[in-house]
C-alpha cells in the first residue's frame, strides 16, 4: 500500500479530529511530539560533533511552536540552538514554550535590527531548522518574512524544514520559486501533496496517529523502527 499524501483540507481535518473528543489530544501534546520528531530528525542527519550550532527559525503560528519544542530538545541532546523569531507568536502556548527555552538558557536573537542579527547568526551557525510557515501558508510572502526567506535561501547552511518548506504551497509546492530549498524534510502526520517533488532526505514524524484514524483516512503509514519518533521514507515513497 502506498503512503497517502494529504491535501490542505484533509490535513486540516485530521488535525481537528486529533484535538476533538474522538482524538482527545491537546495542542500541547501534539506540539511536544512534533517538536521531538523534528529534533530527532536533525540529530540523526547532522551529528552534534560536526554541526553543534543550530539556528531555529520560528514563525508566529503552530509551526513556530513546533520549532520552540525542537530547540528545547536539541539543547537537551547537547546541541547549541539559537532561536530566531522574525515575528514572535502572541498565543499563551507560544509564550510558555518560549519560557521553557529561556529556562534552558537557549539564546534568542533580539527583535531589533533583525536582518543584521540574522546575517550574523547565519555566519556563526552550522545548520538551520526551518519552522516558519506551516501547511496553512498562503502567499504572497509578507514583511518581515519577505526579507528573511531570501537570506536563508542564499545561505550555504544545510536546512531542515518542518512539515513543508517555508514558502511552499501545501498542494502545489514551490510554485512561485520563493520557498526554501531544504536538504531534509520532516513531514508531520503524513506528507503533504506539495512535497511530492521533494528530492532531499525525507522523514515522517507522526507516531501519535491512532490506529483507528490511520485506517479511517487510509494513510498507509510505514512502520516506525524501535522507539524512534521518526522513520525515513525510501525514494520509492516520493514518486
CATH code of the domain covering residue 177: 3.40.50.10260
Is position 1 within any domain?
A: no
pLDDT of residue 136: 77
Is position 3 within any domain?
A: no
Is position 184 within any domain?
A: yes
- Residue 57 β-bridge partners: 84, 130
Instruction: Report the first-to-last Cα separation within the chain, whole angstroms.
Output: 13
Is position 110 within any domain?
A: yes
Is position 195 within any domain?
A: yes
pLDDT of residue 116: 75
Average pLDDT estimate for 6-27: 92
Q: Which has more pLDDT, 178 or 38?
A: 38
Q: In which element (H, E) is residue 9 found?
A: helix 8-18
Q: Which three cell numbers stand for residue 80?
A: 547549541
Q: Which has more pLDDT, 135 or 230?
A: 230
Percent of the chain with pLDDT over 90: 82
> In 10 A of CB 215, how many CB atoms?
10
**Statement: residue 148 has pLDDT above 60:** yes
pLDDT of residue 237: 47
For every residue of 122-178, DSSP letters joined together read: HHH-SEEEEES--TT--SS--TTHHHHHHHHHHS-S-EEEESS-TT-BTTTBSTTS-
Percent of the chain with pLDDT over 70: 96
Q: Which three cell numbers stand for residue 65?
A: 511552536
Contacts of 30 (CB under 8 A, 6+ apart): 15, 18, 19, 208
Annotated binding site: 62-66, 130, 134-140, 163, 166
> In 10 A of CB 49, how many CB atoms?
7
Q: How far is C-alpha 233 from the geometric centre of its chain's CA atoms?
A: 16
Structural domain of residue 99, as residue ranges?
8-238
Q: Which three cell numbers stand for residue 228?
A: 524512534
Residue 223, exposed/middle/buried by CB under 10 A (0-12, 13-18, 19+)? exposed
Vertex 38: Cα angle to 34 and 39 (nearest 5): 120
Is position 171 within any domain?
A: yes
Which candidate, 173, 174, 169, 209, places its Cα nearest to that of 189? Answer: 209
**Statement: residue 27 has pLDDT above 90:** yes
Q: Which has more pLDDT, 82 or 141?
A: 82
Annotated binding site for (6S)-NADPHX: 62-66, 134-140, 163
pLDDT of residue 134: 85
Under a CB-based contact definition with an 8 Å cutoff, are residues 153 and 86 in contact?
no
pLDDT of residue 209: 94
The pLDDT-based confidence of 238 (bands split at 50, 70, 90) is very low
**Structural domains counted in the chain:** 1
**Statement: residue 112 has pLDDT above 70:** no
Annotated binding site for K(+): 63, 130, 166
pLDDT of residue 22: 76
Is position 2 within any domain?
A: no
pLDDT of residue 66: 97
Vertex 62: Cα angle to 154 and 234 (nearest 5): 65
Is position 108 within any domain?
A: yes
Q: Does residue 234 have a cis peptide bond before it, meaning omega lies within 30 degrees of 0?
A: no
Pairing of strands 201-205, 231-232: antiparallel
Amino acid at each position: 500500500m502506498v503512503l497517502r499524501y494529504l491535501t490542505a483540507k484533509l490535513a486540516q481535518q485530521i488535525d481537528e479530529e486529533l484535538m476533538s473528543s474522538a482524538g482527545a489530544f491537546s495542542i500541547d501534546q501534539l506540539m511536544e511530539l512534533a517538536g521531538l520528531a523534528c529534533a530527532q530528525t536533525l540529530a540523526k542527519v547532522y551529528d552534534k560533533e560536526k554541526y553543534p550550532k543550530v539556528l531555529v527559525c520560528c514563525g508566529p503560528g503552530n509551526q513556530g511552536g513546533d520549532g520552540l519544542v525542537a530547540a528545547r530538545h536539541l539543547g537537551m541532546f547537547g546541541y547549541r540552538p539559537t532561536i530566531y523569531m522574525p515575528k514572535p507568536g502572541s498565543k499563551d502556548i507560544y509564550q510558555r514554550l518560549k519560557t521553557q527555552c529561556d529556562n534552558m538558557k537557549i539564546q534568542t536573537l533580539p527583535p531589533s535590527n533583525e536582518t543584521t542579527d540574522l546575517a550574523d547568526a547565519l555566519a556563526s551557525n552550522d545548520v538551520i531548522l526551518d519552522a516558519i510557515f506551516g501547511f496553512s501558508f498562503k502567499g504572497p510572502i509578507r514583511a518581515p518574512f519577505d526579507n528573511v526567506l531570501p537570506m536563508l535561501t542564499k545561505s550555504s547552511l544545510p536546512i531542515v524544514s518542518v512539515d513543508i518548506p517555508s514558502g511552499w504551497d501545501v498542494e502545489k509546492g514551490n510554485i512561485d520559486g520563493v520557498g526554501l530549498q531544504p536538504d531534509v524534510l520532516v513531514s508531520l502526520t503524513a506528507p503533504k501533496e506539495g512535497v511530492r517533488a521533494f528530492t532531499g532526505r525525507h522523514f515522517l514524524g507522526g507516531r501519535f496517529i491512532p490506529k483507528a484514524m490511520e485506517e479511517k483516512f487510509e494513510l498507509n503509514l510505514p512502520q516506525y523502527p524501535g522507539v524512534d519518533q521518526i522513520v525515513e521514507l525510501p525514494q520509492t515513497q516520493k514518486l
